[in-house]
Amino acid sequence: MERTSEPPTYLLSRWLFLRLLGAVYLVAFASLAVQITGLVGEHGIMPAGPYLEWAHSLYGRDAYRLLPTVFWLDRSDLALRVVTWGGAVLSLLLILGLAPLALLLVLWVLYLSLSVVGQDFLSFQWDVLLLEAGLLAVFWAPAQWRSRGRERAPSPVARWLLVFLQFKLMFLSGLTKLLSGDPTWRHATALDYHFETQPLPPWTAWYAHHLPGGVHRAATMAMFFIELVAPWFLLAPPRLRTLRLTGCGSLVLLQLSIAATGNYGFFNALALVLCVPVLDDRLLRPVLPLRLTVRAGVSPARRVILQIVGPAFLVLSLLSLGREIVSTLPRAPGLGLAIPWSDRVMTWVAPFRSFNGYGLFRVMTTSRPEIVIEGSRDGEHWSEYEFRYKPGNVTRRPRFVAPYHPRLDWQMWFAALDPEGNIGWLESLANRLRAGTPEVLALLERNPFPAAPPRFIRLMEYDYRFSTAAEWQRTHAWWVRELVGSARL
C-alpha cells in the first residue's frame, strides 16, 4: 500500500469540484424550469400560492421560519420562472469560476426556496443531497471574484465535511437495507425485482432483469461491500492514498452501474461529484494540468467562522446519520437509543433541509402496480393519456432520461404504490386534465383530446411486468400488463 510523507494539496480538487457541482446545479434548475409551472404554478397540479397561504393560516408568522422561501414575496408563474432560469444562469457562472462563494450561497437559497414550494414534487433524496452538498461547498469555495491562477488554500475542515457527506450517503444506503429487515436484501434476491419495479426503468433494465439469478446475487453482494466497506476507505489518512483511491473507485463503479440501468435524475452525477474532494492534487494533475498556486492561507475571519461552523455541522451530520439508523430499525426499537436533545436540535434545523439521512430502496418493491389515466367525453368511450417516460404503452421502448428528472412521471410511481396517500394531488391532476390546462398537458407525451378536454377522468390500475424473451420475440412488447381495478375521479 502506497505511503507518502508529502502533504497533500487540494487546489485542483476544489477547482474541479466546484465546477462539477455547478453543472449539477445547472441540470437541476434547467430541468425544473421546463416543468415548474405545470407542477406548482398558478394553474399547476399543486399551486405554490394556495400552499403558502394554507401554511400561513396554520402557523402564522412561524410559517416563515418553517418554510423558508423567497416565494413568500411573490408566488406567480413569473417568479417561478425567474428563480429556475435565474438559477440555471448562476450555475453557468459558477462553472466559469466567477464569485464561487457568493454564487453558491445564492444557489442554495434559490434551490431551498424551490424545494419548499415544490412540495411532493421536490421531496426526493437527491434534492436534499444537493442542498446539503451545496451548503457545505459554500465553506470550501474561495472568497474571491476570480482566481486568476492564485487562490487561498482550501479549508481542510470544509473538505473533510464533504468527504463525510459522501461517507454518510453511501454507508447509510447499505446499512439501512440490512437494518430494515427486508427479506429480499437479507437473502440477496433484491435484484430479482429491482430492475423491473424501479420507478423509470430504461431499456437496459429489461436485459439486466433477465440475467441469471446467480448474477443478481453476486451483484447484490458486491453492492453491499461497496456501500458498507468502501466508504470507510474515504476516511483513511492522506498517507494511505491508494486505499482512499480504491474506495473512491469502488463508489464510482457502483454509481456508473446504477446509472446504466436506471433513471435517477441527477443523483448519480451528484454522487460522483462528491468523490472529487477525496482526490488530492497529485492524483488529479495528470488529467487536469492547471497551474494553480496558493495565494495565502485561510483568512483569519474565515478561520474563526470554520472553527464554529465545522464542529456544529459535524454534530448535525452525525445526528442525522444516527436518526436515520434508528428510524430504519423494524418497529423502531432503537428510538430509546436516541440522544434526548437530538430531536429538538434536528427539528430546529429541519426547515433548511441540509442535514439529512439517506437510504434509497431500503425496502424493495416486489411487484409493479401502475396507474394509467384515461379520459372520456361521454363516459363510454375512453382514451389513454400517455406520459413521456413512465411505463404506459407496452410496446414503447423504455427510455434513458437521466440526468433530467421528469417529476410527474416519478410521482406517478409513488401514487401507484399508495393511491390513497396521494389522492389529493391525483384529484388535482384529474381536474387540470378536465380543464385542459396547457401547463399540465405539457408534462405529458400525448393529449388524446386536442380539440376539447374530456368530461370524465378515471384511473386504471394495472400490474406491469417485463415481458419474457419469448414474449418479446412474439409481440415486441417490453411490458405485459394485467388490469387490476379502476376508479373515477
Tell me what pLDDT residue 292 has.
79
pLDDT in tens, 169-195: 999 999 999 998 899 999 999 999 999
Tell me what pLDDT residue 1 has.
47
> What gap in Å lies between CA 107 and CA 69, rounded to an integer?
12
Tell me what pLDDT residue 297 has.
64
Of the listed ranges 26-40, 235-249, 468-482, the one predicted with least confidence: 235-249
- Please state whether beta strands 293-294 and 150-151 pair in parallel, antiparallel, or not at all (unpaired): parallel
Query: In the predicted model, is pLDDT for residue 364 greater than 50?
Result: yes
Query: In the predicted model, is pLDDT for residue 205 greater than 90?
Result: yes
Copy the grid coordinates of residue 166: 459522501
pLDDT level of residue 339 (50, 70, 90 thresholds): low
What global pTM score does this model have? 0.94
**Once rounded to an integer, what is the mean pLDDT over residues 412-425?**
94
Alpha helices in 180-229 (DSSP H): 183-186, 191-197, 203-209, 213-228
Q: How many angstroms separate the first and last alpha carbons of the chain?
A: 64
Instruction: Compute how many other C-beta atoms are within 10 angstroms of the C-beta atom of residue 163.
Output: 21
pLDDT level of residue 416 (50, 70, 90 thresholds): very high
For the CA atoms of the chain, what is the radius of gyration?
A: 24
Q: What is the mean pLDDT of the chain?
A: 92
